[in-house]
Amino acid sequence: MTTLTTMRVNVRRDLKDEDAGNYRWTNDEIDRAIEKAVLVYSEYCPLMQLDATIVTVDQDNTVDISTLTDRIDVLKVEHPIDEEPYPSRRFKVWGDVLTFQDGYVGDGVECNIYWLKKHTLSTASTIPTAHDHIISMGAVAFAVSSQAQYQVNLANTGGQKVNKDYNYWAKAAFEAFYDQLQHVKSYNLKKLVTGALIAED
């Protein structure tokens, strides 16, 4: 499983920035670019979760979902879970409160909540190894874009051509990144529809 340290090495390799004595990007800048890439990736291919520990409130139509950290969205709620098949309930979410609709109320027993979560990449990763190259592509795009903006403030260093070169590089990198994300999104949507990839938290 890829760690942040490994990903940083991969991104530097793709940036051709491997001279430790003369880095163009600091580790903090590379890490920030990776973080941005992971956030965008999460919007296209979020981590699918099933939480069966959230308890409803007896005779109340609201449920506290503040424990679902790094939440992107809630897809489905089943209650009660002692029936087969589990009934799905209409709901809405505002902040950390899920509210049952149509006059439905809880009974003090757990419900099943299917939800989407942001990915993480640090000492461990929730991103499939097969998608590591996508994160690297995105990090390269964000790093190069940041460098292009920086060069605007250095008009006397390298001339205007330097800024244009970085902009062209960033544009191509972003196009490649989002092209890959579209492929991932199409595949992921099919799985969301079938529910085949709903994973237990």
Print pLDDT tens along the chain (201 aa). 799 999 999 999 999 999 999 999 999 999 999 999 999 999 999 999 999 999 999 999 999 999 999 999 999 999 999 888 899 999 999 999 999 999 999 999 999 999 999 999 999 999 999 999 999 999 999 999 988 776 555 555 555 555 678 889 999 999 999 999 998 887 776 666 555 444 433
pTM of the model: 0.83
How do beta strands 199-200 and 47-51 pair?
A: parallel
Q: Compute the distance between CA of residue 34 and CA of residue 119 in angstroms, rounded to an integer.
A: 12
Range of the domain at 61: 47-117
Domain containing residue 107: CATH number: 2.40.30
Q: Compute the distance between CA of residue 41 and CA of residue 142 in angstroms, rounded to an integer.
A: 13
Residue where one domain finishes, among candidates 117, 148, 167: 117
What are the tokens at 140? 């390269």
Q: What's the DSSP call for residue 186?
A: H
